[in-house]
């Protein structure tokens, strides 16, 4: 039965295979809404106007530091159909080189341990979804997320600038779709 589709429908991991996503590093993260729907609000005159779900996404991102150990948040923005943020893991942490056993039920995005990038983003997405449902708000995330390991200060500064100016450049953004607008 396991050979039925011969990995025809399997989506390969976008994670860097030689990298442990618990390691001390800064990551540029992008998380999209399902079908790129404009759940988070709309850009008006170069500024983001948040919907109730957008407010949740914003507040809960900033609360991430209270739920994960040794992390630091950098630049962050909520856009109509995605969020961009910089997350630095392992601030002041000592590396643990011991291999970890992963139970089959835990195999979620590779690094499933507490304070891995996947567990932090998974918890964030879950919190936004849970609170949106509790408030009766229509909302869904796209499965997975995109990350980029930031390797030096120049790259960090360029990415932070991109994030800060993203609303002003919305119409040139690859996630922009003039046919999808937020309707409160």
119 vs 9, higher pLDDT = 119
Paired strand residues for 86: 28
Whether the model clears a pTM of 0.85, i.e. scores above it, the answer is no
* Separate counts of helices (H) and strands (E) for the chain: 3, 6
Q: How far is CA 172 from CA 73, 85, 88, 169, 176, in A?
A: 26, 19, 28, 6, 7
Residue 94: pLDDT band with limits 50, 70, 90? very low
* pLDDT recorded at residue 165: 96
Query: Is the CB of residue 144 less than 8 Å from the CB of residue 54?
Result: no
* pLDDT recorded at residue 112: 59
Angstrom distance (rounded) from CA 26 to CA 48: 25
Per-residue pLDDT tens digits for 95-141: 444 333 334 443 444 445 677 888 999 999 999 999 999 999 999 99
* pLDDT recorded at residue 21: 58
Q: 107 in helix, strand or coil?
A: coil
Helix (H) or strand (E) holding 117: helix 117-134
Angstrom distance (rounded) from CA 112 to CA 183: 36
29-91+127-169 falls under which CATH superfamily?
Transposase IS200-like (3.30.70.1290)
Query: Is the CB of residue 142 less than 8 Å from the CB of residue 37?
Result: no
What does the pLDDT average to over 61-76? 92
* Among 77, 56, 65, 180, residue whose Cα is nearest residue 126: 56
């Amino acid at each position: 039965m396991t050979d039925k589709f011969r990995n025809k429908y399997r989506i390969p991991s976008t994670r860097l295979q030689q990298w442990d996503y618990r390691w001390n590093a800064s990551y540029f993260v992008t998380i999209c809404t399902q079908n790129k729907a404009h759940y988070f609000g709309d850009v008006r005159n170069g500024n983001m106007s948040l919907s109730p779900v957008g407010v949740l996404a914003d507040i809960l991102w900033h609360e991430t530091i209270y739920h994960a150990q040794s992390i630091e948040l950098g630049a962050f923005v909520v856009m109509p159909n995605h969020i961009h943020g910089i997350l630095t893991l392992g601030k002041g942490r000592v590396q643990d080189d011991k291999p970890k056993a992963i139970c089959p039920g835990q195999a979620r995005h590779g690094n499933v341990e507490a304070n891995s990038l996947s567990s932090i983003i998974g918890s964030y997405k879950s919190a936004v979804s849970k609170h949106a449902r509790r408030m009766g708000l229509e909302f869904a995330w796209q499965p997975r997320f995109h990350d980029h390991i930031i390797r030096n200060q120049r790259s960090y500064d360029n990415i932070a600038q991109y994030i800060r100016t993203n609303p002003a450049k919305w119409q040139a953004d690859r996630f922009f779709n003039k046919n999808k607008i937020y309707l409160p």
